[in-house]
Amino acid sequence: MQENLSKLQKKINVKFKNINILKKAITHKSYDYENNYEKLEFLGDRILGLVISKKLIDLYKDEKEGVLDKKLASLVNKNKCLEVAKELGLDKFILVGNKKNKKNKIENKIISDSIEALIAAIYYEKGIEFTENFILRIWKNYLNLSNITVIDAKTKLQEYSLKKFKSLPVYKFISNTGLKHKPKFKISVKLKNTKFYEGIGDSKKKAEQNAAEMLLKNLNL
């Protein structure tokens, strides 16, 4: 364990005096129900949001709040945290209860939560200034690309509906089929003057996005 923690410190280029807080940041509750990363993840999420928000304001002084909000969401969501965590190789150090069975991959949510927990651990160990520099270092490539604002289909459809009809799109859950580990969700969406358009995905969110894309295509948007 000590050797593993030493490797992790080299990997992230941060030296810890309090090695226990580093261990806690990579410990899932399935491994240790009492001493795990949950509270650290809660704090790390807020620290990450603060640091990235501050940096975006510095980078885009003339942008409106709505644009900054979209940029922030794209930089701190669970998928982005997962990408950053995997780039760091953090997934190779996480402690979970089923790790003995190498066939059991660590869930993506656990990996993305762990990077936020690590941020909080660094904050406790080194303070806010060091933590801010750490975040900006490992998010550097994504911040460099943040000048490109990609609006997802669901957001685009919502903005169009509010502008044209002063109302939100209506989503309707249709079904959830497939195996437990490989579900298939079907969801439909309509606007005030359209029929329902269906979308399929391995999560409700993806199914909604796909439904929104189908409707946007029909509207030539």
- Whether residues 46 and 120 share a domain: the answer is yes
Residue 2 — pLDDT band, cuts 50, 70, 90?
confident
DSSP helix/strand/coil, 54: helix
pLDDT above 80: residue 127: yes
Q: Are 172 and 159 a contacting pair, CB within 8 Å?
A: no
φ, ψ dihedrals at 211, nearest 5°: -65, -45
- Whether residues 128 and 61 share a domain: the answer is yes
Q: Are 212 and 200 a contacting pair, CB within 8 Å?
A: no
- Whether residues 161 and 126 share a domain: the answer is no
Compute the CA torsion angle 171, 110, 71, 183 (nearest 10 deg).
-30
Domain end position, chosen among 118, 144, 170: 144
Annotation says 125 is catalytic:
no
- Whether residues 44 and 135 share a domain: the answer is yes
Residue 11 — pLDDT band, cuts 50, 70, 90?
very high
Domain end position, chosen among 111, 144, 177: 144
- Whether residues 100 and 176 share a domain: the answer is no
pLDDT at 70: 83
pLDDT at 172: 95
The pTM of the full predicted model, rounded to 2 decimals, is: 0.69
Of 116, 125, 208, 213, catalytic: 116
* Measured distance CA(16)–CA(5) in Å, rounded: 10
pLDDT at 105: 75
- Whether residues 131 and 162 share a domain: the answer is no
- Whether residues 173 and 123 share a domain: the answer is no
Rounded mean pLDDT of the chain?
91
- Whether residues 201 and 120 share a domain: the answer is no
- Whether residues 22 and 122 share a domain: the answer is yes
pLDDT at 57: 96
Domain end position, chosen among 125, 144, 163: 144
Of 45, 113, 125, 208, catalytic: 45
* Measured distance CA(70)–CA(53) in Å, rounded: 11
**Count of structural domains within the chain:** 2
> Each residue of 142-201: pLDDT tens digit?
998 887 666 788 988 998 999 899 999 999 999 999 887 788 999 999 999 899 999 999
* Measured distance CA(25)–CA(54) in Å, rounded: 24
Residue 27 — pLDDT band, cuts 50, 70, 90?
very high
Annotation says 62 is catalytic:
no
Kindly report the CATH number assigned to the domain that includes residue 177.
3.30.160.20
Kindly report the CATH number assigned to the domain that includes residue 12.
1.10.1520.10
Residues pairing with 171 in the sheet: 189
pLDDT at 149: 60
> Each residue of 32-87: pLDDT tens digit?
999 999 999 999 999 999 999 999 999 999 888 888 988 998 899 988 999 999 99
pLDDT above 70: residue 101: no
- Whether residues 175 and 71 share a domain: the answer is no
Domain around 90: 2-144
pLDDT above 50: residue 103: no
- Whether residues 10 and 91 share a domain: the answer is yes
- Whether residues 17 and 40 share a domain: the answer is yes
pLDDT at 150: 61
Amino acid at 75: L
